[in-house]
Amino acid sequence: MSTYIPIDSASSPLGQDASKTAAVGPSLAFDDQRHLTAHRWLVEETYILDRQDYDAWLETLAEDIHYFMPIRVTTALGTGYDTAKDMAHFDEDKYSLSRRVARFDTGHAWAEDPPSRLRHHLSNVRTFATENENELVVESAVLLFRSRGDVLEPSLLSVGRVDLLRLEDGVWRLARRHIAADESVLRMQNLAVFL
């Protein structure tokens, strides 16, 4: 059974590249080298995000990265959608992501001063081949634990992700990330960090 990645680029989490990056066939076996490569890539990325080494994280991104987190909505059964059209928490490219990272060094990123204590719990990783041998579609689940200061209650955010990893000059890079929060109203105070 293949993963849900729409071919129609208008509705696809992978945007205009949907037709080129649709999953082919069932998820790869857990001992398949491509799955092991994708899983290790995500584990290393998680380590970077937990350390908040965002300059290093930017280096893992493709130049044409699309980082997208639509707003979830609660609808009746059978409606056919669960995200708000043309509304997103994040709809970013490499430039906007780099500006967010640069802001941490300005002294004006008050939401992260003092910095959060983060732990990204990664699970349910499934990897899918595409028609392009240099691209993999990877599904994963992330539970973000975030603690700030000494008096605020820690917060959790659960999300599902669909990523496109692309091999460029011998290095795997993140080319697309579609993030689906598991709640319509986010209880986390802000989303100054990355998922």
**Residue 8: predicted pLDDT:** 41
**What CATH number does residue 34 fall under?**
3.10.450.50
- Total number of domains in the chain: 1
Residue 8 belongs to some domain of the structure: no
Cα distances (angstroms) measured from residue 7 to each of 16, 20, 49, 52, 159: 10, 9, 31, 34, 22
32 is in which domain, residue-wise?
15-75+87-181
Residue 4 belongs to some domain of the structure: no
For residues 48 and 60, is the Cβ–Cβ distance under 8 A?
yes
For residue 20, the surrounding DSSP H or E stretch is helix 18-21
**Residue 47: predicted pLDDT:** 98
Residue 190 belongs to some domain of the structure: no
Residue 104 belongs to some domain of the structure: yes
pTM of the full structure = 0.83
Question: Residue 129: which of 32, 38, 37, 27 has the closest Cα?
Answer: 27
Residue 156 belongs to some domain of the structure: yes
- Give the C-alpha separation, 75 to 143, whole Å: 24
- Give the C-alpha separation, 157 to 187, whole Å: 8
Residue 116 belongs to some domain of the structure: yes
Say what percent of the chain tops pLDDT 90: 55
Residues 61-115 have pLDDT tens digits of 999 999 999 888 777 777 666 666 778 888 999 999 999 999 888 877 777 667 7
- Give the C-alpha separation, 67 to 174, whole Å: 9
Residue 187 belongs to some domain of the structure: no
Residue 47 belongs to some domain of the structure: yes
**Residue 115: predicted pLDDT:** 79
